[in-house]
Amino acid sequence: MNEKKGMLIDVQFIKSKQEINELIEALGMSQNGLRDQLLFKLDVSTGLRCGDLIALKVEQVKGESNFNLMADIADYIETLPTDAVYLFPSRKGDGHITTTQAYRIIASAGDMIGNHSIGTHTMRKTLGYTYYQATKDIATLMEIFNHSSQKTTLRYMGITKEAIENSIKSVSFF
């Protein structure tokens, strides 16, 4: 849960591609649209924790072929100062943006599309939900998220015991 405007909110995943595209479009409307869109796209594609994502250095992603967003990354890097160290540099000093700033970026775009339960965990949760729905491979998802138990991963994605039981009931052998 995160605090937003004085109240706690339960940050959720995004289920539909349409809403993902709406959020990406909203992120593009900001002054730093390319940066904000890449922040979301890169995290929803990799599942990195926000702190790890914002600390990525340009040299870590430049020319990497294991990211499926190479064109987006290359376009964005062209907008950075040539001496930029971090992929998501801060305007203040030589560091990177903070997790608080990343949260504000993502939550603000969520507000723009009318979804007030979007935050930085939304990106990881969306990857987890989408991956799990496509594969049902909880073991690999645990590795992606660096979780120590299936229970933690299922809880993180909001998959409850009731949902699991209903899923099992939907399978009929006779």
pTM: 0.84
Please tell me the total count of domains within the chain: 2
Please determine, for residue 6, whether its predicted confidence score (pLDDT) is greater than 70.
Answer: no
81-120 pLDDT, tens digit per residue, is 999 999 999 988 789 999 999 999 999 999 999 999 999 9
The residues, any chain, with a CB within 8 Å of residue 152's CB and separated by 6 or more, are 142
Give the burial class of 149: count Cβ atoms within 10 A of its Cβ; 0-12 exposed, 13-18 middle, 19 or more buried.
exposed
Shared domain check, 102 and 28? yes
Q: Which domain holds residue 60?
A: 13-126
Structure-block tokens of residue 30: 């900001």
Shared domain check, 122 and 38? yes
Q: How many CB atoms lie within 10 A of CB 41?
A: 20
